[in-house]
Homo-oligomer: A and B are copies of this chain.
Amino acid sequence: MKELTDRQRAIYGYIKDFILSHKYPPTIREIGARFNIKSTNGVRDALKALEIKGYIKKRTNRARGIELPKKVFPSSAHTAHLPVIGSIAAGTPILAQENIEETLTIDQAMLPRNSEIFALRVQGDSMTGDGILSGDIAIIRMQKNAERGQIVAAIIDGDATLKHYHPSENKIELRASNPKYFPITVSEGEDFSIAGILAGVIRKC
């Protein structure tokens, strides 16, 4: 990649920061205002140079048409944004907007591929035996079924809870890993479903 002049580097940096913080590119006139360039054409010359040198791309005749090549955002290629669910509002789908507490960005290497993921803030100490503490964020791979013994995010009566899954002939046992809690037994037909299985844990100390 060709060297930039000081002026070009400053303008390029402004564009990059602008897109990162605003989520949309600046207009030619906005760039001009920032650098005291009175004519739109002054900016266009700079953009032309940046495009020739491969730092930006332009969609012609499009408002806010500056694009950066993907490699400028290394993270976006290898990171995933996943919604963190606090509690689940009764009767809503898990990923409904009102359940989303915040969004977390993590490395895709941390996640299983080709699957839908969300994160659940853990409340309570029922799973301390598996190293899952209250306040941890559990990463959940969405799936409707689970195998015996796996840790599942189960929805019971509209509340989400992490437990070991132990199905038997006509009922399902959900076991905590902290011995002070008794297993929960769910009969078929009760308001119960599996939201997904545990794929990871994140804790901020």
Taking Cβ atoms with an 8 Å cutoff, the residues of A that contact B are 1, 3-4, 12, 19-21, 23-25, 27, 55, 63-64, 67-68, 71-79, 81, 97-98, 100-107, 109-110, 128, 131-133, 136, 151, 198-205
A133, closest chain B residue (CB): B131
In the complex, how many angstroms separate the beta carbon of A124 from the nearest chain B beta carbon?
13
Tell me whether A74 and B105 are in contact in the complex, defined as CB-CB below 8 angstroms, given that A23-B68, A24-B23, A81-B20 are known contacts.
yes
**Cβ–Cβ contact A23 & B21, under 8 A:** no
Copies of this chain in its oligomeric complex: 2
Residue contact B131 to A97, C-beta cutoff 8 Å = no
Instruction: Report Cα–Cα, A191/B163, bound state, in Å.
Output: 44
CA A119 to CA B71, docked complex, whole Å: 14
Cα–Cα, bound, A101→B202 (Å) = 20
By the criterion CB–CB under 8 Å, are A103 and B203 in contact?
Answer: no
Shortest CB-to-CB span from A105 to chain B, Å, is 4
* Contact, CB under 8 Å: B103 / A74: yes
Cβ-neighbour of A24 out of B64, B103, B107 (below 8 A): B64
4 shortest interchain CB distances as A-B pairs: A63-B63, A131-B131, A201-B203, A20-B77
A109–B1 Cα distance when bound, in Å, is 33
CA distance in complex: A27, B103 (Å): 25
Who on chain B is nearest to A97 by CB?
A: B1
B74 touching A81 by the CB < 8 A rule? yes
Residues of B within 8 A of A103 (CB): 71-74
